[in-house]
Amino acid sequence: MGNLEELFTSVRSQFPALTQLVHGKKLVYLDSGATTLKPQSVIDRISHFYSYETSNVHRGAHYLGDVATGHFEAARQKVADFLGASQSEEIIFARGTTEGVNLVANSWGLSNLKAGDEILITVMEHHGNIVPWQMVAEKVGAKVVAADIHDNGELNLEDFKSKLSAKTKLVAFTASSNVLGTNTDVKLLTRLAHEAGAKVLVDGAQIVSQLPVNVQDMDCDFFVFSAHKLFGPFGFGAVYGKKAILDQMPPYQGGGSMISKVTIEKTTFNDVPTRFEAGTPHVEGAVGLHAALDFVEKIGLDKIHAYEMEILKSATEKLLAIPDVKIFGTSSNKGAILSFNLKGAHHSDVAQILDQEGVAVRAGHHCTQPLMARLGVPGTVRASFSVYNNHEDIDALVKAVAKAREMLL
């Protein structure tokens, strides 16, 4: 661990949020599954953009307009490279994962789904990858079906296969569960879905910060993620779509930029990806995401993954040593997320005590109510780890959970 420890000590020093006290205690931030903290390089890049480069994009009759447009499109290329897409035209900028799913559901979904069709998801999906499909299904008379998990939090492959049929037109699943941590076998599930004749959308919200992604290798048709879970800004993210499919899709929203020609009677639309980006875009979101990807690439996702696995292993062992702790999601292939409960204590009470100790975790249903129903609990406490966490953070978590146990049980 020696070298990794040193590297990540220096990484940690790049996060100004971690220099503050909360409730008089050192902040131990274990809520990266909800959003990651931002490194100084990303903060500085966005500040520089607002200070010196503010201008609208794609309107350009002047120097700054060209500068901003150049940065915006460079970010698109950067995202394409990061995801292994074959061209930057396959990258649509959106508000994040949720808007990405809504875009695909409304554009591809409304024009391709019909009564009797099925959309296959999994029971561990985030509401962002459930509700948009239900809304579209209701409009066209299609049905949302969910594959089950095993008790250890892994996808039940037999159940998944049994629910794939000629009726299945789209399979939408997470690459990594925000509650259980489980990483799914994206390549396998995609192949099975394609063999059944369905298109595939991968929810990449929790995978992009922990493992390299290659959409061509995965062969998925759509892939969505949010910048804010990847050290980047809020309100920004991207949708990858295979160019041939995007070319056939109608616009999601109407307005400026997405048009080719407008008359009062009729509008013709721009090419992909601009067709899907109505109105002034979140330019500093793109610029900030570019800086965030530079940050990640400078460390290396291989090192990030190795370090997070060390942290997860140690945190799991230490937490399980506390009596009455039950962990949800114990797959050997999982991200650095620990969802747990103290038997007999309410998750919110536990989180409140942890907060008083400076330990920031999330408690509740984590926008996965069907998963909570499957697990038979109203909610869990979730500690999620990232590049800036260290062994002291684990010890602080364990000490605070032991204290919560003493106080609540």
User: Which residues bind to ligand PLP, rule: CB under 6 A?
Assistant: 96-98, 126, 128-129, 174, 178, 203, 205-206, 226
- Pick 146 or 353: Cβ nearer ligand PLP: 146
For residue 116, the minimal CB distance to ligand PLP (Å) is 28
For residue 36, the minimal CB distance to ligand PLP (Å) is 11
Q: How many CA atoms lie within 13 A of 106 on its CB side?
A: 13
367, 377, 402, 408: the catalytic one is 367
b vs e for 136-164, b when ≥16 Cβ sit within 10 Å of the residue's Cβ?
Answer: bbeeeebbbbbbebeeebbbbeeebeebb
- Pick 238 or 315: Cβ nearer ligand PLP: 238
For residue 10, the minimal CB distance to ligand PLP (Å) is 28
- Pick 176 or 316: Cβ nearer ligand PLP: 176
For residue 3, the minimal CB distance to ligand PLP (Å) is 31
- Pick 117 or 203: Cβ nearer ligand PLP: 203
Cα-based angle 212, 81, 132 (whole degrees, multiple of 5): 75
Task: Answer yes or no: 220 catalytic.
Answer: no
- Pick 96 or 241: Cβ nearer ligand PLP: 96
- Pick 205 or 396: Cβ nearer ligand PLP: 205
Cα-based angle 231, 233, 235 (whole degrees, multiple of 5): 130
For residue 97, the minimal CB distance to ligand PLP (Å) is 4
For residue 178, the minimal CB distance to ligand PLP (Å) is 3
- Catalytic residues, by residue number, are 367
